[in-house]
Amino acid sequence: MAKVSAFGFTNTTASTNSVTPLLLSLTSNYAVKEDSANTAVLNNKTAPIDIEELVTFRSRDIQQVNTDLNIQYPSPVKKGIQYQVMVEDTYSTTDTADPDFRVDEPIVMQLTIRHPKSGNITNAALGTVFLRLISTLMKADGSWRFDDLMRSAERPVID
């Protein structure tokens, strides 16, 4: 009999809103700032030197995947992998009425993924969880929830 992997949730109605990724061209538009065993840091060559953007990729082996989930039938595979993508952007504000006014502020976002080093974990499964993660950051009308979250209003808003 074939093994079948599936998630337990049933709230899978597709949204009519879409998020369109940008074509960043990481290999041509970014300079390699750091390239070590488990880290690569890329610096965006399309941004001015004083308004940087850095993209960091990291990975590391972990002894086990810690979670608050109540796992009833744990896998024999305990060791895992953790990897992260981080984007650090400089948000620059100027004033057309005052040429001497400029404020630069950092905005940092990161996505960390942990899972067992199991063949059961597929690219498609990770994509499903990623879409659910992004969906938690959006309202039903397709707008982002960052206005609420930056005010520590963590509870979901009415759809």
- DSSP at 141: T
31 assigned to some structural domain: yes
Residue 3 in domain: no
pLDDT of the residue at 159: 57
Per-residue pLDDT at 110 exceeds 70 = yes
Mean pLDDT of 93-105: 94
Residue type, 48: P
* Mean pLDDT score across all residues of the chain: 92
Residues 113 and 145 in one domain: no
Q: Which domain holds residue 143?
A: 122-154
Given a contact cutoff of 8 angstroms between Cβ atoms, the answer to whether 43 and 53 are in contact is yes
Contact partners, residue 33, CB within 8 Å, separation at least 6: 41, 42, 43, 54
In a domain, 144, yes or no: yes
Q: How many other CB atoms are there within 10 angstroms of residue 104's CB atom?
A: 12
Number of domains in the chain: 2
Residues 147 and 130 in one domain: yes
Could you tell me if residue 111 is inside a domain? yes
Q: Answer whether residue 11 is part of any domain.
A: no
Is the per-residue pLDDT at 2 higher than 90? no
What tokens appear for 121 in the block? 């974990």
Residues forming beta bridges with residue 94, ordered by sequence position = 102
Indicate whether 15 belongs to any domain.
no
Average pLDDT, stretch 42-47?
97
Same domain (yes/no): 38, 106? yes
Lateral strand order in the sheet of 80-95: 30-35, 39-44, 53-62, 80-95, 98-116
Question: Looking at the structure, do residues 77 and 146 belong to the same domain, yes or no?
Answer: no
Task: Tell me what the mean pLDDT of segment 96-110 comes to.
Answer: 95
Residue 18 resides in a domain: no
pLDDT bin (cut points 50, 70, 90) of residue 158 is low
Q: pLDDT tens digits, residue range 45-81?
A: 999 999 999 999 999 999 999 999 999 999 999 999 9
Give the pLDDT score at 23: 94
Structure letter (DSSP) for residue 112: E
Q: Does residue 8 sit within a domain?
A: no
Cα 118 from Cα 77, distance rounded (Å): 6
Please report the pLDDT score of residue 73 as a whole number. 93
